[in-house]
Structure 1
């Protein structure tokens, strides 16, 4: 049977979408194309859409997922320049897709949603929002809310660096007006952003002081350019792009086994670890430097990064790699635990994001005045990371338990949106004003997640942003994208309770 696209009286629900990155864009497009629904609005904090790809414009910014899989399945791009697309191309793709579906007409830019509250008597969500350009505050009532506030949104900026008196910025807030040429530059952090920034600026700066907290596992980044012939075949040869798309997808899916601690998966884990080890030995001849850059934890516990120029960059003569903790900041000088000091001209913080705080405290108030974040506490309770009890008609895109460590997260976004579309269609078919997942359905899911995670490397002793403060994995799905898609292929009405429209 097809999807029900209106209530019996011909009306459609009013939908609010928070965020205009890939998640919010997908929700808006699917509402249009699957339900013919136009009664929606998108709220975006920034002056343009793009989310992560609007904010992160640092030198070398690029996706570490193959370009052919980092796109909407329903909107293929045949013109990626390289296997791994740089930030400008990804942002251009987003804008092109947005223009095709007329999303710009639906987006309120420079608008911050400050509070979202469920009113049981009216069966509505009330959104408080503010126009950041004018300061004007307004209110919107919506039947359904999509939260597209991604996890890589709020920069993690340690307080200790507030005392630094020179130019400083986070990689997600890059200062393009400052010329790094012949400057003494410090980079704090050694995650994916730093690994892309370092090779991009190392030949420009006079000296680079690189402060590493935890080394990353690095594997080769085979970033070949797509030739004109390849692009021609993608566009004009029947099924060629589709086959390449699927081959890349299943190749990434196969790597899920390297994150498993089960004996049956020891061989792929061993092979991946050996690849990273051989790559490190081959690219770093200096044994002392190699020791500093060698991880002391299980491969996959923290994010595995693809790069072919990071190790050579750190081996250059103008780079100093520090592993001692920074204990003090005075003027434009950093003081380390071993007593050494480094005077620098500019400080770059590649210190990551507050992944576990993607939804601010007191931002969502559900039924009976429940503060969603206070209720979650150390234990987020969601049904497949999409919705939660006490928050009817609220769908989280890339909520808890839906991140990935091995494949394109856009597959997860599409799967979640498609499931939400089925739920909205069911609401209209059954004439429901609200739909709420049961606590038992969430408990069943959380119990399974905890049990499955026991066999995955993310639950080992090492710390990562996949875990909350208690060491519990709350940001990741335990299995492959295919498993997630299969579980959400069909909508299960028995796991929800609804309220009839009056």
Structure 2
């Protein structure tokens, strides 16, 4: 196994690449990034479906320390985001740190040695510090519909798009109307002979103010100091203000509701279709989607929206509960991801043989969404209570990078083997989150991917992103127990 590495990062999406760059900038060199796939990029590597793009503007959906001034559009498409991540990793010298095709199957904390032992599909290794950058949207979930294996045509999940399947002239069925589906459906509608869309719950969709950047705009951003920062700050302020409607004053969501109703009225002339497309839950309770071509695609004569529940998948297509059968040559499952397991399916064992799955039986918990009691020197990026409904997750990740670096620096200065957040601190943080979440729109009565199986909201941060940055600006020694490097056993306060 060899001597332990200083830091091992699991995952090479925005979290893993950004953390590796920040470690390198702070002088760390013994860093390994483990990536189960054959390339970096995380969700932007995996989701290559037609129309894939971000719903956060490009100037904000990028690292503050690696500006890009030549984005093609206001809202970046998938291929440009992936290219940006690849270029950033290469330019900052962290590409050689990545071990591709290496999936972590188990992580065990060796309390005597004071470091983590990792089992991977390509052997064993050890690490003084483990940073999980697995993300929340990396495990596609096919729908639990009877008969899926009986379908005679081609079927795949949107996150595992089959580019070898030509949709031109085909009968295509899309199951799901979430964030991926609203991007896919307009693209399929342009090719397919017949498109059937199966909707379980109508989403709120507002217009997407997207357009291509003009040449003079790119030149201005590139050559005039401060313009890129000003653009980023303007976008950040606009999106940050939306937190008021999500977490403080839900009535403010009415402003977005008007945009939704106006767009629906303008783009869907059929009153019955509009009824089907009108959600039955408060706006913001589920993810608000943006698209300017989704509703027009549904209004096309060769596209049918089906809201009757699906009974089963049959060899020729899909049968609904009312007995109708919809024939299809291709089935696309746009049914989302497993979002509340965080580190699943790897097995993680902490101090005293504590199993993380057991510790999280009632829902994932982590102090500040980063550290988990009983699991020393394990740091989560994009952990519980850190997802957003209104701003860029990259901003949250950069706050977490700083917090992790602060912990590593403090450990080095104090001569500590490991630090472990106190259980009472973690419990107090969890109670505070649940108390604050109770008054948000996410807890207003709908089912969403923000919740775990028990209906508990565990994904979202109930506040402003600048408040999270303030909360994570530096680790508080009083929050941890630790073991000093000179001591073979026993713990101390930090």
Instruction: Name the CA shift for 1:47/1:355 in 2 (closer, same or farther; >3 Å).
Output: same
Q: Does the CA contact (< 8 Å) of 1:432 and 1:501 recur in 2?
A: yes
| Counterpart check, 1:210 vs 2:197 | yes
For residues 131-162 of structure 1, the C-alpha deviation after alignment (integer angstroms, 9 at most, x for no partner) is 3xxxxxx1101100000001110001124323
| Counterpart check, 1:127 vs 2:118 | yes
Structure 1 unaligned residues grouped into runs of 5+: 1-10, 132-137
Aligned counterpart for 1:76 among listed residues 63, 67, 79: 67
Count of aligned pairs between the two proteins: 482
State the alpha-carbon separation in 1 of the partners of residues 414 and 154 from structure 2: 58
Aligned counterpart for 2:221 among listed residues 227, 230, 234: 234
2:124 aligns with 139
For residues 66-119 of structure 1, the C-alpha deviation after alignment (integer angstroms, 9 at most, x for no partner) is 111000010011011111000010001011101101222111001111100101
1:247 aligns with 234
1:16 aligns with 8
SS, match of residue 417 in structure 1? helix
1:429 aligns with 413
SS, match of residue 166 in structure 2? coil
Aligned counterpart for 1:27 among listed residues 19, 27, 32: 19
Deviation at 1:58, TM superposition (A): 0.2
SS, match of residue 192 in structure 1? coil
Deviation at 1:334, TM superposition (A): 1.0
State the alpha-carbon separation in 2 of the partners of residues 364 and 403 from structure 1: 22
TM-score by length of 2: 0.96
| Counterpart check, 1:461 vs 2:445 | yes
TM-score by length of 1: 0.94
Aligned counterpart for 1:356 among listed residues 324, 340, 346: 340
1:306 aligns with 290
Q: Which residues in structure 2 correspond to 1:21-170 (within 5 Å)?
A: 21-33=13-25, 35-131=26-122, 138-160=123-145, 161-170=148-157
Q: Which moved more, 1:202-211 or 1:439-448?
A: 439-448
SS, match of residue 403 in structure 2? helix
1:7 aligns with none
| Counterpart check, 1:493 vs 2:477 | yes
Q: Does the CA contact (< 8 Å) of 1:362 and 1:372 recur in 2?
A: no
Aligned counterpart for 1:270 among listed residues 251, 254, 259: 254
SS, match of residue 180 in structure 2? helix
Structure 2 unaligned residues grouped into runs of 5+: 487-494
1:412 aligns with 396
SS, match of residue 152 in structure 1? coil
Q: Does the CA contact (< 8 Å) of 1:18 and 1:113 recur in 2?
A: yes
Which runs of at least 4 in structure 1 moved beyond 3 Å after TM superposition? none
SS, match of residue 145 in structure 1? strand
Over the residues paired in the alignment, what is the CA RMSD in angstroms? 1.3
| Counterpart check, 1:185 vs 2:172 | yes
